Amino acid sequence: MARRALISVSDKTGVVDFARQLAERGWEILSTGGTFAALTGAGIAARQVSDVTGFPEMLGGRVKTLHPAIHGGILARREEDHLAELSAQGLSTIDLVCVNLYPFRETVARGAPFDEVVENIDIGGPAMIRSAAKNHAGVLVLVDPADYALALQDEVSGADRQRLAAKAYRHTSEYDAAITAYLEGASDVLPTALPDTLSLKLSRVAAVRYGENPHQPGAVYRLGGARGPVIDARVVAGKPMSFNNYADADAAWALCQELNVQEAALPEHAAVCVAVKHANPCGVALAGDVKTAWERARDADTLSVFGGVVAVNRPVDLAAAQAMRGTFLEVLIAPDVTPDAVEWFAAKKPDLRVLIAGPSQDVSVLDVRPLTGGFAVQEKDARPWDDLCPEVVTTRQPTEQEWLDLRFAWATVKHARSNAVVLARGGVSVGLGAGAVSRIWAAERAVENAGERAQGAVLASEAFFPFDDVVRLAASVGVNAILQPGGAKRDPEVVAACNELGLSMVFTGSRHFRH
């Protein structure tokens, strides 16, 4: 008896050639709808599924393969009792199922109306795929044109059959996740709410040598269909990215873009440079050009920037590239790099990964953190400065320049690990303290880092002050203005200390913990 293949695909890539080769090997081809038309139109002998079932397609094509003649032929074990039962009903086995599904996600992506989207929810396709995958010992299941060549081999190993079955179940599970997300009001699989059940579709986009440490395997995955500025960046020079490179570059680019938006109205500060080390900013600066912004960010902390990751918001030219000559960096990420700068980096800093990043598109609103046995999930902290209602709570008002520096320091401290304190002056981070278990320790680190540059600076904290100790420390080194969320029990004492010492204090009413 000839082997039988059921072919019904939405993505018809390579299917005509595949079916022709099956037919040349003596396979009988069963098909449906558009696939049947494509095959017969190419001169390939095929039978309609309706000829096998004895029933025409019904309900506008909603019902065509949901029949024992199809699923019995797929699910029957190749054992005497099952084969005898099929024969008694006049049915035959189906030995290969080549199916991929209605273009549901593509229909959603082009903004089709709800009723059209629902009609692109495939029912028979997933049922056949799952049936074939369950019975993969006797049935080859194909959901990816890349596997057609494997199916044309004289023998397909049990291991390959199992791999194809796993791929098939992954295919249907991702499809179901996309449908679930759409019906819950999201696009693709990026929910905008936190439902009782959350499905995250992750697809690998990059392999890395290892994770955070050499003994940890690692890889980089895309969430749903989101586009990310770092995971989709174009590497134009240097070595392949590492696990830690991805994490630090993402952190640097996020702060760079927040400052880019915030400082857009200040043409004298057109360039932003952010240096990051271990996911924390270590040097941040504004300037009129990339070269100067880099030099100011580097000089903010020449020790910590060594081995760091740098992001800038403007194209990097040769002058800016050459200014980086004396500093070892892991990654540079920018919206563009001039050809002569790329050539210089490749010749003079061959280990530096140089990335060109596009704007963020369809980025998930979710922040997902692993826990033992699960995940903690929240919406990302995307609150901009313009969403705040800053309130001056002291007698002294900040000067115009101090307001600019307070906004700059607020954006920087928002992207630093808690507890965090940032000192800034003239569009430069002159002192940073991050990841401390005590706020006063974070402030002491920032003050130590700033040294004499603290004179005339401003200070920002991502959370409120439980005591007035940070105020008194800031005043002792010449800080003029402080920004913090407010909301502590001792706020009156903290404000009184500012008035006593002649400092301005601004409450934002918004905390920005980053654990």
Q: Which residues are catalytic?
A: 134, 278
Query: Hey, which residues does 58 pair with through a beta bridge?
Result: 63
Tell me the one-letter amino acid at 63: V
Query: What DSSP character marks residue 399?
Result: P
Q: How many Å from the N-terminal Cα to the C-terminal Cα in the chain?
A: 65
Query: What DSSP character marks residue 361?
Result: B
Q: Which residue has the tokens 């800080």?
A: 479
For 486, counting Cβ atoms within 10 Å of its Cβ (0-12 exposed, 13-18 middle, 19+ buried), the class is: buried
Q: Which residue has the tokens 């397909």?
A: 156
Q: What tokens does 258 get? A: 């927040």
Q: Measuring CA to CA, how many Å separate 69 from each of 52, 55, 82, 132?
A: 7, 10, 13, 14
Query: Hey, which residues does 483 pair with through a beta bridge?
Result: 460, 506
What is the C-alpha separation between 48 and 259, in angstroms, rounded? 61
Q: How many CA atoms lie within 13 A of 258 on its CB side?
A: 22
Q: Measuring CA to CA, how many Å separate 330 from each of 79, 260, 433, 515?
A: 60, 22, 22, 24
Q: In what order do the strands lie in the sheet with 353-356?
A: 234-237, 353-356, 329-334, 308-312, 271-277, 280-287
